[in-house]
Structure 1
Amino acid sequence: MPRGDKSAYTDKQKRQAQHIEEGYVERGVPEKEAQRRAWATENKISGGGRKSGSGRKHH
Protein backbone atom coordinates (compact mmCIF):
# COMPACT_ATOMS: atom_id res chain seq x y z
CA MET A 1 0.00 0.00 0.00
CA PRO A 2 1.57 3.33 -1.02
CA ARG A 3 1.98 6.11 1.49
CA GLY A 4 -1.09 8.30 1.72
CA ASP A 5 -3.49 5.53 0.66
CA LYS A 6 -6.59 5.86 2.85
CA SER A 7 -8.34 2.66 1.67
CA ALA A 8 -7.41 0.85 4.91
CA TYR A 9 -9.49 3.26 6.99
CA THR A 10 -13.11 2.76 8.00
CA ASP A 11 -15.81 5.23 6.96
CA LYS A 12 -16.00 6.43 10.56
CA GLN A 13 -12.26 7.15 10.62
CA LYS A 14 -12.51 9.04 7.31
CA ARG A 15 -15.44 11.14 8.58
CA GLN A 16 -13.59 11.89 11.81
CA ALA A 17 -10.45 12.99 9.93
CA GLN A 18 -12.60 15.23 7.68
CA HIS A 19 -14.17 16.86 10.72
CA ILE A 20 -10.77 17.41 12.33
CA GLU A 21 -9.46 18.90 9.08
CA GLU A 22 -12.38 21.36 8.89
CA GLY A 23 -11.57 22.53 12.42
CA TYR A 24 -7.96 23.25 11.45
CA VAL A 25 -9.02 25.12 8.29
CA GLU A 26 -11.41 27.26 10.33
CA ARG A 27 -8.46 28.23 12.53
CA GLY A 28 -6.50 29.42 9.49
CA VAL A 29 -4.29 26.39 8.82
CA PRO A 30 -3.57 25.89 5.07
CA GLU A 31 -5.62 23.09 3.44
CA LYS A 32 -2.75 20.63 2.83
CA GLU A 33 -1.30 21.14 6.31
CA ALA A 34 -4.76 20.77 7.86
CA GLN A 35 -5.25 17.46 6.04
CA ARG A 36 -1.85 16.17 7.18
CA ARG A 37 -2.55 17.14 10.79
CA ALA A 38 -6.06 15.68 10.67
CA TRP A 39 -4.81 12.24 9.59
CA ALA A 40 -1.99 12.37 12.15
CA THR A 41 -4.56 13.15 14.83
CA GLU A 42 -6.90 10.39 13.64
CA ASN A 43 -4.00 7.91 13.68
CA LYS A 44 -3.21 8.92 17.24
CA ILE A 45 -6.86 8.49 18.30
CA SER A 46 -7.62 5.22 16.51
CA GLY A 47 -4.18 3.68 16.17
CA GLY A 48 -4.14 3.73 12.35
CA GLY A 49 -6.12 1.91 9.68
CA ARG A 50 -8.72 -0.85 9.90
CA LYS A 51 -8.02 -3.33 12.69
CA SER A 52 -9.60 -6.68 13.49
CA GLY A 53 -11.56 -6.76 16.73
CA SER A 54 -10.32 -10.05 18.18
CA GLY A 55 -7.31 -9.86 20.44
CA ARG A 56 -6.89 -6.16 19.94
CA LYS A 57 -5.37 -4.21 22.79
CA HIS A 58 -7.73 -1.61 24.25
CA HIS A 59 -6.53 1.49 26.10
Structure 2
Amino acid sequence: MPRGSGAKRERQYEYIKESAERRGESPRRAGEMAARTVNKERARAGESRSASRTSLRGPKSASQRGGQRSHGGAQGPTKDQLYAEARKRNIEGRSTMTKQQLARALGR
Protein backbone atom coordinates (compact mmCIF):
# COMPACT_ATOMS: atom_id res chain seq x y z
CA MET A 1 0.00 0.00 0.00
CA PRO A 2 1.20 3.53 -0.73
CA ARG A 3 2.24 5.71 2.14
CA GLY A 4 -0.40 8.11 3.33
CA SER A 5 -3.38 5.88 2.67
CA GLY A 6 -5.85 5.67 5.50
CA ALA A 7 -7.15 2.80 7.55
CA LYS A 8 -10.18 2.44 5.26
CA ARG A 9 -7.98 1.88 2.22
CA GLU A 10 -5.80 -0.58 4.17
CA ARG A 11 -8.91 -2.62 5.04
CA GLN A 12 -10.13 -2.39 1.46
CA TYR A 13 -6.75 -3.63 0.18
CA GLU A 14 -6.75 -6.61 2.56
CA TYR A 15 -10.34 -7.51 1.73
CA ILE A 16 -9.73 -7.45 -2.03
CA LYS A 17 -6.47 -9.38 -1.70
CA GLU A 18 -8.00 -12.12 0.47
CA SER A 19 -10.99 -12.38 -1.85
CA ALA A 20 -8.74 -12.85 -4.88
CA GLU A 21 -6.67 -15.49 -3.05
CA ARG A 22 -9.85 -17.40 -2.17
CA ARG A 23 -10.74 -17.39 -5.88
CA GLY A 24 -7.41 -19.09 -6.61
CA GLU A 25 -5.15 -16.18 -7.60
CA SER A 26 -1.52 -16.35 -6.52
CA PRO A 27 -0.64 -14.13 -3.53
CA ARG A 28 1.48 -11.90 -5.78
CA ARG A 29 -1.26 -11.44 -8.38
CA ALA A 30 -3.89 -10.91 -5.66
CA GLY A 31 -1.77 -8.17 -4.07
CA GLU A 32 -1.25 -6.50 -7.43
CA MET A 33 -4.97 -6.54 -8.23
CA ALA A 34 -5.83 -5.17 -4.79
CA ALA A 35 -3.26 -2.38 -5.02
CA ARG A 36 -4.44 -1.31 -8.46
CA THR A 37 -8.07 -1.28 -7.36
CA VAL A 38 -7.37 0.70 -4.20
CA ASN A 39 -5.15 3.18 -6.05
CA LYS A 40 -7.88 3.76 -8.61
CA GLU A 41 -10.44 4.31 -5.86
CA ARG A 42 -8.10 6.75 -4.15
CA ALA A 43 -7.68 8.67 -7.40
CA ARG A 44 -11.43 8.87 -7.95
CA ALA A 45 -11.97 10.11 -4.41
CA GLY A 46 -9.26 12.77 -4.77
CA GLU A 47 -7.02 11.13 -2.17
CA SER A 48 -3.95 10.85 -4.40
CA ARG A 49 -1.62 13.53 -5.74
CA SER A 50 -2.06 12.47 -9.34
CA ALA A 51 -4.48 10.36 -11.31
CA SER A 52 -4.52 9.02 -14.84
CA ARG A 53 -7.33 10.01 -17.14
CA THR A 54 -8.61 6.43 -17.24
CA SER A 55 -8.78 6.32 -13.45
CA LEU A 56 -11.15 9.24 -13.44
CA ARG A 57 -13.27 8.23 -16.43
CA GLY A 58 -15.80 5.49 -16.80
CA PRO A 59 -19.37 4.85 -15.82
CA LYS A 60 -18.78 3.86 -12.21
CA SER A 61 -16.12 2.96 -9.73
CA ALA A 62 -14.88 -0.62 -9.55
CA SER A 63 -16.81 -1.33 -6.36
CA GLN A 64 -20.07 -0.09 -7.87
CA ARG A 65 -19.46 -1.89 -11.16
CA GLY A 66 -19.24 -5.19 -9.33
CA GLY A 67 -17.43 -7.24 -11.98
CA GLN A 68 -19.55 -5.89 -14.80
CA ARG A 69 -16.59 -6.01 -17.16
CA SER A 70 -15.36 -9.44 -16.14
CA HIS A 71 -15.49 -12.31 -18.62
CA GLY A 72 -17.59 -14.60 -16.49
CA GLY A 73 -21.05 -13.13 -17.01
CA ALA A 74 -24.26 -15.12 -17.00
CA GLN A 75 -23.28 -16.93 -20.19
CA GLY A 76 -19.62 -17.33 -19.27
CA PRO A 77 -16.83 -16.49 -21.70
CA THR A 78 -17.72 -15.79 -25.32
CA LYS A 79 -17.09 -18.27 -28.10
CA ASP A 80 -14.26 -16.07 -29.37
CA GLN A 81 -12.62 -16.13 -25.93
CA LEU A 82 -12.96 -19.91 -25.74
CA TYR A 83 -11.59 -20.26 -29.27
CA ALA A 84 -8.58 -18.10 -28.43
CA GLU A 85 -7.83 -20.26 -25.39
CA ALA A 86 -8.25 -23.45 -27.44
CA ARG A 87 -5.85 -22.02 -30.01
CA LYS A 88 -3.27 -21.34 -27.28
CA ARG A 89 -3.62 -24.92 -26.06
CA ASN A 90 -3.45 -26.21 -29.65
CA ILE A 91 -6.71 -28.19 -29.43
CA GLU A 92 -7.41 -29.94 -32.73
CA GLY A 93 -10.75 -29.41 -34.48
CA ARG A 94 -11.42 -26.15 -32.66
CA SER A 95 -12.47 -24.27 -35.80
CA THR A 96 -15.57 -26.42 -36.29
CA MET A 97 -16.56 -26.66 -32.60
CA THR A 98 -19.57 -24.94 -31.06
CA LYS A 99 -19.27 -22.83 -27.92
CA GLN A 100 -20.36 -25.78 -25.77
CA GLN A 101 -17.89 -28.13 -27.46
CA LEU A 102 -15.06 -25.62 -26.96
CA ALA A 103 -15.96 -25.28 -23.28
CA ARG A 104 -15.99 -29.07 -22.89
CA ALA A 105 -12.66 -29.45 -24.69
CA LEU A 106 -11.13 -26.84 -22.37
CA GLY A 107 -12.46 -28.66 -19.31
CA ARG A 108 -15.04 -26.08 -18.25
Return the TM-score normalized by structure 1: 0.66
Secondary structure, counterpart of 2:3 in structure 1: coil
- Of the three residues 4, 15, 22, the one matched with 2:18 is 22
Query: In structure 1, how many angstroms separate the alpha carbons of the residues matched to 2:23 and 2:31?
Result: 13
1:18 alignment partner AA: E
2:13 alignment partner AA: A
Partner of 1:43: 39
Identity rate, percent: 26
CA RMSD, aligned part only? 2.5
Q: Identify the structure with bigger relative contact order (alpha carbons < 8 Å, sequence gap 6+).
A: 1
Pick the structure with greater CA Rg: 2
List alignment gaps of at least 5 residues for structure 1. Answer: 52-59
Partner of 1:33: 29
Aligned residues between the structures:
48
List alignment gaps of at least 5 residues for structure 2. Answer: 48-108
CA displacement at 1:6 relative to structure 2: 2.4
Query: In structure 1, how many angstroms separate the alpha carbons of the residues matched to 2:2 and 2:21?
Result: 20
- Of the three residues 8, 13, 19, the one matched with 1:12 is 8
Return the TM-score normalized by structure 2: 0.38
